[in-house]
């Protein structure tokens, strides 16, 4: 039917070493391009915050970029 791991005649499953090089390279290129686009967007966002003198937002963005998002609290009361 629609998915199982039976490996029937309609949907053969390939191992990575049997996958064409161009397909692996294409997937890697897409992942890298998405990463670059996100990095550029964060850089422009940081420049916008700095221009508007939003110091707290710049600090929060730096924490996000560093992967320290567990320490960010949305509302401090």
> 39-72: per-residue pLDDT in tens?
899 889 999 999 999 999 888 888 888 876 665 5
Asked whether residue 1 carries a pLDDT value surpassing 50, the answer given is no
Region of 75 on the Ramachandran plot (φ > 0 left; ψ -120 to 50 alpha; else beta): beta
- Token pair belonging to 24: 């692996």
The SS3 of residue 71 is helix
- Which pTM value belongs to this model? 0.61
- Token pair belonging to 28: 């890697």
Cβ 5 vs Cβ 13: under 8 Å? yes
């Amino acid at each position: 039917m629609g998915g199982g791991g039976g490996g029937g005649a309609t949907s053969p499953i390939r191992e990575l070493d049997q996958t064409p090089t161009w397909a692996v390279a294409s997937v890697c290129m897409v992942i890298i391009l998405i990463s670059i686009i996100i990095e550029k967007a964060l850089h422009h966002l940081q420049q916008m915050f700095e221009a508007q003198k939003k110091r707290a937002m710049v600090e929060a963005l730096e924490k996000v970029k560093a992967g320290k998002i567990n320490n960010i609290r949305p509302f401090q009361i």
